[in-house]
Amino acid sequence: MMKIGPIKFGEAKDYTIEFTNTGENDFEIFHLQGGCTCTEPTDWSRGAVKPGQKGFIKYRFDSSKASVQKDYGSSIEIYGNVDGDLILYEIEANVVK
């Protein structure tokens, strides 16, 4: 889970998730999707991330499409070559006036 903020309502900011492939096989992202309209994936590691290597996912959080609240929940759906084809990465934003 990534906690972001405080972020002022109406503001949009870019964030980066960095990860290490701790598995025994290459990891490849096929598709990303934001859990709501406020969260938009913008870039990610293309191709295979080999075991032990680092990868990244960049996304934009647009608080004007969220609610003013301390623990506003969103996510990034990561589709790739993993069991179940999906990893759900949760985001908790502190959106303030």
Tens digits of per-residue pLDDT, 45-78?
Answer: 999 999 999 999 999 999 999 999 999 999 999 9
Q: At 6, phi and psi to the nearest 5?
A: -70, 145
Tell me the pLDDT tens digit for each residue of 9-52. Answer: 999 999 999 999 999 999 999 999 999 999 999 999 999 999 99
DSSP state of 10: T
| Residue corresponding to tokens 């990893």 | 87
Residue 92, token pair as written in the block: 């908790």
Q: Which residue has the tokens 């934001």?
A: 34
Number of domains comprising the chain: 1
Judge contact between 45 and 29, C-beta under 8 A.
Answer: yes
CATH number reported for the structural domain that contains residue 70 in this entry: 2.60.40.10
- Letter for the amino acid at 91? I
Strands (E), the chain: 2-8, 12-20, 29-34, 39-44, 54-62, 72-80, 86-96
**pLDDT band at 83; cut points 50, 70, 90:** confident
Domain containing 29 equals: 2-96
How confident is the model at residue 84, as a pLDDT? Answer: 86
Instruction: Return the pLDDT at 75.
Output: 98
Report the pLDDT value the prediction gives residue 44, as an integer from 0 to 100.
98
